Amino acid sequence: MDRVIAAKVFIDVAQSRSFTATAERLNMSRPMVTRYMEAMEDWLKTRLLHRTTRKISLTTAGESCLKDVELWLEQADKITSLANMGKELSGLVRVTTSMSFGFSQLMPAIQAFMDEYPQVCIDIDLEDSAANLTEKSIDLALRIASNPDPSLIGKPIARCESVLVASPDYLQKAQASVGDISDPQDLTRHDCLGYKNFEQHIWHLSKNDQFESVTVDCRLTVNEANALLHGTLNGIGISMQPTYLANRYIKDGRLIHVLPEWKPKALSIYALYSSRKHLSPTVRALIDHLESYFAAHPW
């Protein structure tokens, strides 16, 4: 039996703890999953799983060799990629990212990739909550974070900087009632817009070697960045926006960059995939393409 497929089955069963779930995810019959697991145990000459009528769990030997099998599968994947370098990329790639980044930046980058590789199909899942990549059969997640999920592997492909912005109308009205904004603490007197999933709204700002943490009053909270942006454009208040959304509106004058010398913390945009998932040459090529595209098309 194919040892690469057997390793893939073992890794998936170790995560799912279910032969049935693995069979569904890998599109094979449950008896075939059993055969591959038996083959893995024969090749490694050790029992990898405890099997009962109610649950499946890893043996001590299974736990100890799981990481080595994952690394071996990664090496096998790299060798396969090298062998297929001359072949045209094809197949379906499932990608997930946030709505705001998907709309504003991912679409043109994906279009360029699909123009170059006409045999590739892309399925994009836009959501602001973190998806379980294995459960949803996601090949690649693009996430903005300071520290990505340690259960995933990948690399940073772009930088995400943020700015404080407000509409000219809001600033004009606020100036008459609460005054100008010349210092981070002035923000406490203003209406601010925040993300719904934060209990406390604290903006951390830096200017050279100075640091300020400001607790702001968010009368409006939203769970999605595009809606937050449009609330700002409509003059509801001041918000912190990623530059990939805000820069075009700053350039055309619809938004004003507030406290431009004070910068929110920058984050990285990561291309992430499950360490338990066999990475195809097409997914590897897409990761490299996105990194190159974003470097050549700064926002």
- List the structure tokens of 48: 């990898």
Of 240, 195, 199, 198, the C-alpha closest to 221 is 195
Task: Round the average pLDDT of the chain to a whole number and report it.
Answer: 89
Q: What are phi and psi of 241, to 5 degrees?
A: -125, 145
Per-position b or e across 51-75, b if 16+ CB within 10 A of its CB: eeeeebebeeebeebbeebbeebee
Please give the class, per CATH, of domain 91-161+267-296. alpha beta
- pLDDT, tens digit (0-9, with 9 covering 90-100), for 13-44: 888 888 888 888 777 899 999 999 999 999 89
Q: What is the pLDDT of residue 231?
A: 97
- Domain 3-83 bears CATH identifier 2.60.120.380: no
The rounded distance, in Å, linking the Cα atoms of 265 and 8 is 39
The CATH 3.40.190.290 domain(s) of the chain lie at: 162-264
Work out the number of other CB atoms within 10 angstroms of the CB of residue 213.
Answer: 9
- List the structure tokens of 63: 């736990």
Provide the percentage of residues in the chain whose pLDDT is more than 90: 60
* Per-residue 3-state assignment (H helix, E strand, C coil) for the chain: CCHHHHHHHHHHHHHHCCHHHHHHHCCCCHHHHHHHHHHHHHHHCCCCEEECCCCEEECHHHHHHHHHHHHHHHHHHHHHHHHCCCCCCCEEEEEEECHHHHHHHHHHHHHHHHHHCCCEEEEEEECCCCCCCCCCCCCEEEEEECCCCCCEEEEEEEEECEEEEECHHHHHHHHHHCCCCCCHHHHHHCCEEEECCCCCCEEEEEECCEEEEEECCEEEEECCHHHHHHHHHCCCCEEEEEHHHHHHHHHCCCCEEECCCCEECCEEEEEEEECCCCCCHHHHHHHHHHHHHHHHCCC
Contact yes or no for 85/247 (Cβ under 8 A): no
**Rounded average pLDDT over 88-111:** 93
Q: What is the pLDDT of residue 101?
A: 95
- The type of residue at 239 is S
- pLDDT, tens digit (0-9, with 9 covering 90-100), for 85-99: 556 888 899 999 999
Q: What is the pLDDT of residue 226?
A: 93
Mean pLDDT check: name the lowest of 76-90, 117-131, 146-160, 241-255.
Answer: 76-90
Contact yes or no for 181/275 (Cβ under 8 A): no
- pLDDT, tens digit (0-9, with 9 covering 90-100), for 259-279: 999 999 999 999 998 755 567
The answer, yes or no, to whether residue 186 has pLDDT greater than 90, is yes
The CATH 3.40.190.10 domain(s) of the chain lie at: 91-161+267-296
Which of these CATH numbers, 3.40.630.30, 3.40.50.970, 3.40.190.290, 3.40.50.1820, describes 162-264?
3.40.190.290
Q: What is the pLDDT of residue 16?
A: 84
- pLDDT, tens digit (0-9, with 9 covering 90-100), for 206-248: 999 999 999 998 989 998 999 999 999 999 999 999 999 999 9
Burial class (CB in 10 A: 0-12, 13-18, 19+), 10: buried
CA-based torsion, 248, 252, 258, 263: positive or negative: positive
